[in-house]
Every structure is written in C-alpha cells, then in structure tokens.
Structure 1
Amino acid sequence: MSINNAMLAGVSSLIANSSAMAVVSDNIANVNTTAFKRNRTDFTRLVNPQSKSSTYNAGGVTAQTRQLVRSQGNLNSTSTVTDLAISGQGFFAVSPLQTPGAAVTNVAFTRVGSFAANDEGNLVNQAGYFLQGWRVDPTGNTTTSPSDLSLLETVNISSISGTATPSTTAKINGNLKSTTPVSTAVSGGTYNAATNNMASGAVTPDANWSFQIYDSLGGLRTFNVAMLKSATANQWITEIYASPASSVTTGAPLVNGQIATGTLVFTPSGRLDTAATTPALLAGFNLGAAAGGAPPAGTAKWAASTGLAAQTFTLDLGQISGEGGVSQFDSPTAITSTTTDGSLFGDVSGVEITKDGFISAIFNNGVTKKIFKLPVATFVNPDGLLADRGGVYRPTSDSGQFSLKDPGLGGAGVIASSSLESSSVDLAQEFSSMIIIQRAYSASSKIITTADDMLDEVIRMKR
C-alpha cells in the first residue's frame, strides 16, 4: 500500500537525519581536539521496484558517514619543541607499547603530535602512544624501509650521554716577513731537524706560532709551528711539534715531540706554494692511539700516559680553504688568528627537530648530534583508514598498505616542530548543517503524521 510506503520512507528519513545529526554533534564536540578530522554524512536514495500501475513504491533514504582524513587543520605554534605536526599528507608512526631500543611491530598511525618525554625519556602523546622512528647510527646514517616495521624504535631523547668531539682541522692565519735575515743556524750549517732543532729549544725560530686541538677526551692539546728563514728565497724551514713534547711518542727521525718537519715554500706573489711545500706539512697528521705499540719511523702517537684514542687532524695553512692561511709579504711577522673544530665535553641541554624529521640532541658545548629520524607514513586512500581510540588510525583494505617515507619526499608532508594541528571542524559549516538536518527531520516527522492521518481515514471508512 502506498501509504505504508510513504510512512516507511518517512521513518528512513528520520533514521538518516538522526545519524547525520550524530555526525555533526561529534564534529562540534571535537572542535578543540588536536588533529581531529571532521566526518561528513552523504545521503543516498533508496529505490524500490516500481509496478506498471499508477501507484508509487517509495524507497526512502539512507545515510552513509564519510571520513575526511585527507583534510588538514591549521598548524598552531606552541612553545614546546616536541609538539609536532605534519604539513602535508602523512601520519606519525606510534605504538601503545613502550619498547625503547627494541623493534616494534604493533604500530598505529596518527597526526596527534602532542608528544612529551615521560620519566624514562620516551616521547609519548596524551593518548598514551609512543612515537616511533629510525635510529641514527654513530656515523650519522639511518637504515630505512618503506614497509619493515622492525626497523622502528621508540624515540628516546634522554639516552644520550655527554660527548666530546675531537678536532679534525686547525687553521692558522698569519704572515712571515719576506725580508727576514737568514738565521745564523741556517747560514752556519748548524741547524739539523733531528739533532739541533727548534723543538728542543736549541735553535731560536724566526716565528713560533702555537695552536690547539681537542683530543678524544675533550681536552686541549697544544702544538707549535716553528719556522726559520731559509737561505733559499721564499722558503722557510718548518717544524710542527707538540708542547709539551711528552704528550706524544715519535719514531725516528722525529724527535722532541715533532710530528712533521720540512719546508714551507711561497710563490713570488707571497702565497703558499702547495706544490713545492713538503707534503708532510700539508697532509693530515695521523696520531696513533696511546695504547698502541711504538710508532713506525717518521710517525707519532699519543703518549701512553694520555690514554687517548687515535686521531687524525689537518693543519690548514691555506691549502684547504684557499683563503687566508700563511702568507709571505714584506710586512712584520705576526700571527693573525687560529681556529679549530671539535669541542670539549658537554652534557645534553635540549633537543631540536628539523622539517626533514631528524631529532638531534644539543649539547652545552655547542655540539649537535642526530639521534633519530622520524618517518612519515602515507596511504593511497587515507579516507579509508579505520579510526581508533586516542586519535589513531589503522590500515584497512580500503586504505591500502602504509609506506614509510622520508619527510618531504614522495608525497609525504614535512615535520613542523613546536606546532600542533588543530581540528578541521568549521563551526559555521556545522551549525548550518545542523539547521538543515533539523528541518529535514521535522519534515520527515510530518510525513509520518500525515500518513497516519490518511490511514486513520481508511480505517474509519469501515465504520
């Protein structure tokens, strides 16, 4: 009977609009929920088979809820470095299990980036999910995979101890006076690098410049560059030696703490002639470990009393940067500056997180060390993900499998530190939808009451 169909169509409309109102209510309730993705109700007509008669078989309507996971809320700045957001597509990999230093397989995906360190230093958000990342090895490299979850670890920012960085390069800037008289030790032929040298103090150098480097324990070690004007134009006899000499052990013919000897040569225009200069003065100095055996001939190692690790450093006299360094002009001999890399021992003072996903520990000695890299998980159809408690999503057949990517590559968004993603809910839109749904619900109830009045008329015909 068409009246019954009309009533059933009204009932289906009441059910559909009730579901739509529930969706709107949930959206409004989560307007301040971090990274909440609004849902939308799509209405679909129900069609019943029609007969050839003039009566109409009403089908009604049904409501289907659609997740709008692709939509992105605004990024709001915060004062906490570990508050994270993704600008673009993708999700953080998280786990409800706290497993620092161990592979994780129970992984979910979220855009709720309000992470903070717990009492063990693990980054966890307010829903109790622990942030997962790829660990950076001591060489600064990471082992990554788009699908291998076993490579992920719970991100811990307090497991890094203090560190010192040994120097790899020191630089001297200065000038040697081109008209310096030839030393009597040179003109008289008494100078000998092995038996009558500058390192021992037996011969007074025309220039004696000191520089320092950081050793493997973060201590400062002093070395000297002593130079004598040669009888040959534009050449300077040079010794590089440790001060004190007891800090190194040398193999003959090196003596008195020497780590290199030779001749510095300059061009007629006063610049360092790297081709003619003794290679040992410009190449890297390889100091063997203190615990090692006696150094081979012409090499040096740290003295056993220092307990230091092997170290290689280069003295930049102008051969590396091509700028500054040592020159020879007819101006007074003087050292302008010395610089060195490396650092003394320092404790962790904070962390920083870059847009490419690297989490780095910042030490109070100025050193920054990468410890983790955050992947961004992408899906072919993120709207097909299954929403779970705590603002996380899990893959389904509709969403497709995840792919863990470097931030900013392959369609993955970049990481924004000190930021949180706001809800994608627009209150104006939701209130407008609420009015429309309420009107539709009221109209549907009129269908039922009107159909009921019509049925009542039919029943009264029997009386």
Structure 2
Amino acid sequence: MASFYIPLTGLNADSTALNTIANNLSNMNTTGYKSQSVNFSDLFYQQVGEAGSGDPIQRGSGTQVASIETDFSNGSPNTTNVDTNVALQGSGFFVVGSGSDTLLTRDGDFSLDLNGNLITSNGLSVMGFPAVDGIVNTNAPLAPVNIPVGEVEPPSATTTFGMTATLDSAANVGDQLSGKIQVFDSLGNAYQAQVTYTKTATNTWSYNVTLPDTLAANSTSVGVINTQVYNFGTSGGTLAGVDPSTNLTITGPNAGGVSTTINAPTVTAGEPVSTYATDLQNALNAAGITATATATPAGQLTITGANITISGSVIQDPVASASATGSLTFDSNGNLVSPSTNVTGITFSGLSDGASNMNMTWNLFGADGSSTLSQVVEQASSVSSSIQNGFTSGNYNGFTIGSDGTVTATFNNGQKLNVGQLALGNVVNLQGLQDGGNGDYATTLASGTATIGVSGTSGLGTMQGGALEASNVNISAEFSDLIIAQRAFEANSKAVTTFDTITQETINMIH
C-alpha cells in the first residue's frame, strides 16, 4: 500500500540524515574534515484524475535523498609547532599519491618515513615540485617531497667579498688601516683574509689582500729528540711565503743545561721559508739551544732538537695574483674613481690543505653603483662591515614549510637550502569529488581533472607551517539539524503506526 511506502521513504531519508549528522559529530576533531549536509527531494507523482478546470490531480510518492553536499569552507588553523604539520587556508588541496594514483587532501598531518620522504598518516607520499641546487622548478613533473635528514651540505668556496670602509683623507703618508673578513676554500676551511689600506699620497691609497694560512705541524719524537715539520704550499714552482703573524716559541736547554726560551725572529711580509729558517737558526745559536732549523727548496721547514718544546703557529702567505695588490684613487669629494669597477681575479694558490685555488672578486660597488669605500676628512679610518658568499660544510638541522609551500632545509653552518615546494590541486566541481576516507578525495568525471599549481597562483590558498587545519563542523548547527531530523523520523514513524491501525480496523470490518 502507498500509505506504508510513502512514510518508509521518509524514514529512509531521515535515517541517512541522522547518519550524516552522526558522522559530522564523530569527526568534529578530525584534522581537515569537511562537514556534510543532506538535501531531500520529492519522488515521482501519479496522476489520479483532473479537476474541472483540467488541472491534473497528482498524488506524491514520498521523498528521497537528492544530494549529500560537503562544506569545503576553511577550518581554523591550530598551532602545533611540529615541523611536518602544515595547515592550508583558502582554496585547494594537498596533492598526495602512491605510484600512479593521485589524490587530494586537506589533512596536513604529515610525517617522515625512514628515507626522509614526507608522507601522510596513511602512508601516501606528499607530492611537490623538485628543487635543484636550491632552485624550485615548477615546470618539472611532480615528485615525492624528500627532506635531506642526516645529510651534509657540501662547502662552497668564497667567490665574492665586499667591505664597507671609510678612509681618513687627513691621514699621513704611510698610515695604514686593516680590515679582516672570513672566507672559505673549496674544502670548507675558513681563513681570515686581510685587506690592508696604506696612504701613499693625497687622495691615493694602496691596498694589499692577504690570506694567512696556518700550517698543521707533523710532530714526531724519538727518545729525547723532538721534531716538527711544516709543509709550505707551492704553485707553479713558487713557494708560499712566511706570514708576519707567525709566532713560534721554542724552549730547550742551553749548553749549560739551563732551560732557555726564544721567541722566533720578526718576519717581514712574504719572507721566503729559507730566510725564516736561517733567522730561526741564528736565534737558536745565540741562545745556546742545541737545535736545528732547516728549509728545503720544496718548502719543508723542519725544527728538531733534544728536549725541546715548540708552541705557537707557523703561518704561510699563499701565492697571490697581481690583482691582490693595487691602488685606490678618490676625487675631491671623497668618491672612489679608480678602480671604476669591481676588482676581479684575486687568486690565492698553494693552500696548505690541498684545496683548489681561490678565485675571488672584490665588490667595490653596490647594486646601486655606489662605492663601498669612501674618504672623508679628519675621521678615523675604519671598517664598518663586510660580506662574502662562501661557507663551510654543515649537518642537517631541520626544515620549515613556508606560506608558499616551499620546503627549506636548515644546516648547522647557518645555511638554508630549498629542497622542494608542496603542490596544490583544485577542481572545478568540488561536490563531484569522491571521498575515500582518511581525508583523501579522488577526482571523478563529475569533478573534472585536478589543476595543479603552487600557493598563491590560480586562486589557490596559502599554507601555515607548524599548524593543522581543524574540522569545520559547527556543533550548534549539527544539534539543531539533529533535532529536525529526529522530529521528521518520529513523524514518519507515527504515520506508519497510524496506517497500521487503519489497516487493522479495515481487516476487522471484513471479519
């Protein structure tokens, strides 16, 4: 009988509504969950006649679930301070996948697998655009985002440096100013390069760039005989000179057995190793210390003696190119006029650690064309700042996800490296997406193919690292809908019991 069938359709539809509300409430704390709502529509109508005016008389056949719509509005971002968490605000979805299958999700509760890949809570790879040498290529095919956990960033040799200095135009000829700047070779070893400015004439200064290189001593002892060997670098047959900052101290017994200490002789700039060895031997002889200091043509300095101790450092000056020295000329307004461009080709070879030759450019001019060197009257010469582009090697220290989805790894040498950028996807018809659970959505013919892009383009939203998007379930609205669905279910149930009573009365009339 239609009297039973019609309220049964209402019961079925109301049951679906109650199930949907229950699902919303059960997921009110699910990351990135989007609430759903049920829409009803009436069923077909049967014409049982027509009115005198010819209007059709139609009898309804009940109701049905017309659609279950998903509310894709934003949930609130909740800060977690977990590196692998990211909240998406605005349109779009994270792109995740396994093999050839690509899915969309709003759940940014990611983690790392044992290979450093960023994955979802159910093991799908988080997809993004790869980066090469820190440059993200958004035209490349999507690939799993990988974090370089446990990796070492290789060193980068210094190729440019700059120094902001003010020189006193009233300085006397011969007055000097020295400025230091840390630079790195190809193996990541650090040096304190020094630029020395010397007043040579009115509005004219000379400069000299040096690179003191501390040598590692090879020490041996055989009985009471102690020996230390220092190997100076060489370039094209030219030996590195001894740097004036060399500060050896030698202690040993003199001819009478009394412990005596000598400080190594003063070193002139660029002094040959052989000259230094001769001066050192003369100082030992004068103090009566039984020890020898010798130098070979190949640049090996050897100090040996009985019961001697050696402290301090032997520092070499690597072989420098001609452009490491030069002249600076200023005009009457204190502006640098020569050189008029940056100084290129400042090279140092024969480094003691065996690194490649250093080749640097001294940036005398900024991006706006103004010089970093100036000359003013009666103001003490000074160096206010310096900058260079090299760095030593560094161990992985962590990573961050920026608002544009760029994944940046950090290292303990202070460097940062972009390793990828999270991809976002969106479809024309959001209601056409198929919900597969675990916060994942699959595209369908109804939704259309996902358009892939990055944050801030094509209407796609932005990201917040160290946060998760909360569910957008409105508990107040859900309870209101629950009451309405409950009353509707009760009404249809009452209709069924009423029709049952009428049916029973009709059967009783027959009997």
TM-score, structure 1 as length reference: 0.79
Quote how far apart the aligned CAs of 1:405 are: 0.7
Q: Judge conservation of contact 2:136–2:420 (CA < 8 Å) in 1.
A: no
1:197 paired residue number: none
1:257 paired residue number: 320
1:35 paired residue number: 32
Question: Match of 2:481, SS?
Answer: helix
1:2-45 CA-to-partner distances (Å, cap 9, x unmatched) read xx222211111111111111111111111111111111110101
2:139 paired residue number: 144
Work out which of the residue numbers 93, 98, 102 in structure 2 matches 1:107.
Answer: 102
Which has the larger displacement, 340-349 or 110-119?
340-349
Quote how far apart the aligned CAs of 1:413 are: 0.7
Alignment of 1:335-354 (within 5 A): 335-341=382-388, 342-354=390-402
Q: Judge conservation of contact 1:250–1:259 (CA < 8 Å) in 2.
A: no
1:413 paired residue number: 461
Quote how far apart the aligned CAs of 1:414 are: 0.8
2:129 paired residue number: 134
Which has the larger displacement, 329-338 or 442-451?
329-338
Q: Distance in 1 between matches of 2:484 and 2:379?
A: 89
Alignment of 1:87-126 (within 5 A): 87-95=89-97, 97=98, 104-126=99-121
What one-letter code is carried by the residue in structure 2 that aligns with 1:329? V
1:447 equivalent in alignment to 2:495 = yes
1:104-144 CA-to-partner distances (Å, cap 9, x unmatched) read 52221111111122333222232222212221101513143
Which has the larger displacement, 359-368 or 132-141?
132-141
Q: Give the total of aligned pairs.
A: 409
Q: Distance in 2 between matches of 1:458 and 1:18?
A: 30
**Relative to structure 1, is the Cα distance of residues 114 and 234 closer, same or farther in structure 2, using a 3 angstrom cutoff?**
same
2:146 paired residue number: 155
Question: Match of 1:380, SS?
Answer: coil
What one-letter code is carried by the residue in structure 1 that aligns with 2:490? S
1:66 paired residue number: 68
**Relative to structure 1, is the Cα distance of residues 458 and 259 closer, same or farther in structure 2, using a 3 angstrom cutoff?**
farther
Q: Distance in 2 between matches of 1:365 and 1:178?
A: 39
Work out which of the residue numbers 243, 251, 265 in structure 1 matches 2:212.
Answer: 243
What one-letter code is carried by the residue in structure 1 that aligns with 2:191? R
1:356 paired residue number: 404
1:18 equivalent in alignment to 2:18 = no
Quote how far apart the aligned CAs of 1:340 are: 2.7
Q: Judge conservation of contact 1:5–1:57 (CA < 8 Å) in 2.
A: no
1:278-297 CA-to-partner distances (Å, cap 9, x unmatched) read 65xx23336xxxxxxxxxxx
Q: Distance in 2 between matches of 1:271 and 1:247?
A: 39
Question: Match of 2:46, SS?
Answer: coil
Q: Judge conservation of contact 1:37–1:423 (CA < 8 Å) in 2.
A: yes
**Relative to structure 1, is the Cα distance of residues 331 and 50 closer, same or farther in structure 2, using a 3 angstrom cutoff?**
same
What one-letter code is carried by the residue in structure 2 that aligns with 1:434? L
Bigger Rg over Cα: 2
Work out which of the residue numbers 334, 353, 357 in structure 2 matches 1:270.
Answer: 334
**Relative to structure 1, is the Cα distance of residues 105 and 429 closer, same or farther in structure 2, using a 3 angstrom cutoff?**
same
Q: Distance in 2 between matches of 1:320 and 1:7?
A: 85
1:225 paired residue number: 195
Q: Distance in 2 between matches of 1:41 and 1:264?
A: 81
Report percent identity of matched pairs.
27
Q: Distance in 2 between matches of 1:447 and 1:210?
A: 93
Work out which of the residue numbers 178, 182, 188 in structure 1 matches 2:169.
Answer: 178
2:307 paired residue number: none
What one-letter code is carried by the residue in structure 2 that aligns with 1:424? N
**Relative to structure 1, is the Cα distance of residues 251 and 89 closer, same or farther in structure 2, using a 3 angstrom cutoff?**
farther
Q: Judge conservation of contact 1:27–1:39 (CA < 8 Å) in 2.
A: yes
What one-letter code is carried by the residue in structure 1 that aligns with 2:120? N
Question: Match of 2:497, SS?
Answer: helix
Which has the larger displacement, 74-83 or 366-375?
74-83
Question: Match of 1:89, SS?
Answer: coil
1:403 paired residue number: 451
Quote how far apart the aligned CAs of 1:89 are: 1.0
**Relative to structure 1, is the Cα distance of residues 41 and 33 closer, same or farther in structure 2, using a 3 angstrom cutoff?**
same
Q: Judge conservation of contact 1:249–1:301 (CA < 8 Å) in 2.
A: no
1:85 equivalent in alignment to 2:87 = yes
1:426 equivalent in alignment to 2:462 = no
2:508 paired residue number: 460
1:160-185 CA-to-partner distances (Å, cap 9, x unmatched) read 423434334323233433344556xx
What one-letter code is carried by the residue in structure 2 that aligns with 1:63? V
Please tell me the root mean square deviation across aligned C-alpha atoms, in Å: 3.0
TM-score, structure 2 as length reference: 0.72
Question: Match of 1:284, SS?
Answer: strand
Q: Distance in 1 between matches of 2:139 and 2:151?
A: 21
**Relative to structure 1, is the Cα distance of residues 305 and 62 closer, same or farther in structure 2, using a 3 angstrom cutoff?**
same
Query: Please, which runs of 5 or more residues in structure 2 have no aligned partner?
Result: 52-56, 215-231, 239-269, 271-318
Work out which of the residue numbers 47, 51, 61 in structure 1 matches 2:48.
Answer: 51
